[in-house]
Amino acid sequence: MRKVAVIGVGNSKFGNRSDVNVAELAFEAVKPSLEDAGISAKNVEFVAIGTAGAGAWYEELLPAVVAAEYCGLTKAGLMRCEAACASSSAAFQAAYSTIASGQADIAMALGVEKMREIDTPTAMEWIGRAGYYLWEFHNFGLTFPAYYALHATAHMAKFGTTEEDLALVAVKNHKYGSMNPIAHLQNRITVDDVLSSMVIASPLKLFDCCPMTDGSAAVILASEEKVKELGIDTPVWVAGIGYSSGTANLSKRLDYVGLEASVQAAQMAYKMAGIAPSQVDFAEFHDCFTIAEIMAYEDLGFCPKGEGAKLIREGQTEIGGKIPVNMDGGLKAKGHPIGTTGCSMIYEVTKQLREEAVERGRQVPLKNYIGLAHNVGGTGHYCYVTILRR
């Protein structure tokens, strides 16, 4: 297998993007990624596009075709990847594998999603169907806040985690979102703001939940030979990729205090990269709901099981702490355009490793120059963990 590097990244502004269609939104990420890599669209041999809501949240049933044509990528090999909220991490893995196997020298992973073209109840239904439709949504009406509320109540019952602990995750991520010019939500909040916000699925409240967001992100990868040919002086190497999945039927899960798929994907990524969690300088964790970030601290080995709340209480996931997490605001504040999130995490990890995340003081001090992105689809139905090193 050949070495593969990230040589270009781009990210659109996140938010309610009713000003553009899906192809135009994709272009906002593709154009800067090509400029960052110093190449043109004709140099890209393969494109994998992650999107989960085609034909449901927006009008295009084949968005990969439309977006590729608009961005000048028509002659490249083309595929669409769906892995729910981890769709563009799946696209990244496909693009990586195409280069590592020797089939191409330059490939692109692109995530694009428009979630705001339909009303909120309809969007919630579509997202709710992403679990086990006949058993959980049709019979019991579970939506995704309710899924993660099950995890929150289980974690609270077993480990003493509190609603205040969940609120601290939201406060932290809004703080860093306020420093990120592309973030959907740039307002700072307090613990009291979270605790007094509307209950969505107890114990989760409005400010424990990520927003529905439009956005795109693009990542360009290249072989080691192409990196040398292009004279790229700051390649960010793909050190490890791990992946796993979990049963669709939650009644078959071993417990609700973590995601087994996260544990397995992380172990696979650490083994491939040849590192331990202690060597990671910072991480992007999948915080679709505040409990998800706390579980990720534990599932990915940054603290023992049951001690995730202690990390957030002590400020250990802030800049200057043991493991800074979600310095872009995370899904909670930057936003969660479902098919885009994986590539947007890679965008942030790349920027941090290049020491380019300097907006308003959110650059993480680096020791080992290793960053991690953890991207979950559903409630552990899919999981991808990507480790990058510079």
**Encoding tokens for residue 340?**
């885009």
Number of domains in the chain: 1
- The predicted model scores a pTM of 0.96
Edge to edge, the sheet with strand 77-81 lists 77-81, 46-50, 106-113, 215-223, 4-11, 236-245, 382-389, 370-377, 282-284
- Quickly state the pLDDT bin for 192 (edges 50, 70, 90): very high
- Residues spanned by the domain of 63: 4-118+212-230
* Alpha carbon distance 239, 269 (integer Å): 8
Is the residue at 290 inside a domain? Answer: no
Is the residue at 278 inside a domain? Answer: no
Q: Catalytic site residues?
A: 85, 336
Q: Which of 82, 99, 101, 100 is nearest to 44 (CA)?
A: 99
* Alpha carbon distance 265, 142 (integer Å): 26
Is the residue at 155 inside a domain? Answer: no
Mean pLDDT of 178-185: 97
Is the residue at 108 inside a domain? Answer: yes
CATH number at residue 59: 3.40.47.10
* Alpha carbon distance 325, 144 (integer Å): 23
Is the residue at 304 inside a domain? Answer: no
pLDDT in tens, 294-347: 999 999 999 999 999 999 999 999 999 999 999 999 999 999 999 999 999 999
pLDDT of residue 139: 60
Is the residue at 299 inside a domain? Answer: no
Mean pLDDT score across all residues of the chain: 94
Is the residue at 258 inside a domain? Answer: no
Burial class of 139 by CB neighbour count within 10 A (0 to 12, 13 to 18, 19+): exposed
Is the residue at 71 inside a domain? Answer: yes
